[in-house]
Amino acid sequence: MNLKILLIGMPGCGKTSLGKRAAKSLDFSFVDLDEEIEKSQNKSINDIFTENGEEYFRRLETEKLKEFCSVPQNKDIIISTGGGVVKNNINIENAKFLGGYIIFIDRPLNFIMEDVDTSDRPLLKDGADKLISLYSERYELYRDAADYIITNNMSFAEVLKEIINHIKTLSDK
Ligand SMILES: Nc1ncnc2c1ncn2[C@@H]1O[C@H](COP(=O)(O)OP(=O)(O)OP(=O)(O)O)[C@@H](O)[C@H]1O
Ligand SMILES: O=C(O)C1=C[C@@H](O)[C@@H](O)[C@H](O)C1
Ligand SMILES: [Mg+2]
């Protein structure tokens, strides 16, 4: 069976950038759920939140995640999720039921705050305080959902290597 690796974690923890690079190096397919939702609606996440509301966005998120976990892939795949995917437990249940393996990228908040542009993320428009409250609300959810946790407190190259090495151990099984 093909591997379906889901990357979860806070906005700005590195899901998209690390996922893309790891997939390239492992010769896996890669998909970013936020990007897929934007393509399917032909508008930005920001505009979806403003024009249709968060609830609408969350429904799309659940549908897309299920779609990418269900469609038989001819290749192993890494799926980068949106930061709020753990808000609805059905997402984690669906992913696990459909054979997904979940990696939590745990990046300390001070690192995230150094390079995340909060202005283009709808839930972070209110700045750093919102990020801190989201982190404390979600931390346990990320941990509980995870099959494996990677602490992203090192250089990009080092954490990338750790992700790739861990995924290789799964491929060998
Ligand atoms: N260990 C690291 N060292 C240096 N930069 C890092 C590290 N991890 C992530 N970054 C950088 O943090 C920024 C945010 O990463 P990225 O956009 O991949 O996060 P994300 O989890 O996909 O966020 P979102 O949930 O908002 O989509 C990027 O510029 C990325 O290169
Ligand atoms: O943390 C969140 O709830 C979100 C994170 C982003 O990846 C997007 O999925 C959206 O902006 C919501
Ligand atoms: Mg991303």
pLDDT of residue 118: 65
Pocket of ligand 1 (CB under 6 A): 9, 11-17, 34, 80, 82-83, 115-116, 121, 152, 154-156, 159
Confidence (pTM) = 0.94
What confidence tens digit (pLDDT) does each residue in 33-54 have? Answer: 999 999 999 999 999 999 999 9
Q: Put the strands of the sheet holding 4-8 in their side by side order.
A: 29-32, 77-80, 4-8, 100-106, 148-151
pLDDT of residue 122: 67
pLDDT of residue 171: 83
Domains of the chain: 4-171 (3.40.50.300)
Low-confidence ranges of the chain (pLDDT < 70): 1, 117-127, 173
pLDDT of residue 2: 87
The token pair that represents 2 in the structure block: 């093909």
Here the ipTM equals 0.96
pLDDT of residue 119: 66
Nearest ligand, measured from the Cα of 138:
2
Q: Which residue puts its alpha carbon closest to atom 26 of ligand 1?
A: 11
Please return the burial class of 24, using the count of CB atoms within 10 Å of its CB with bins 0-12, 13-18 and 19+. Answer: exposed
CA distance 131 to 41: 26
Task: Extract the runs of DSSP E, i.e. beta strands, from the chain.
Answer: 4-8, 29-32, 77-80, 100-106, 148-151
Nearest in space to 148 (alpha carbons), one of 28, 4, 1, 7:
7
pLDDT of residue 126: 67
CB of 100 within 6 A of ligand 2: the answer is no
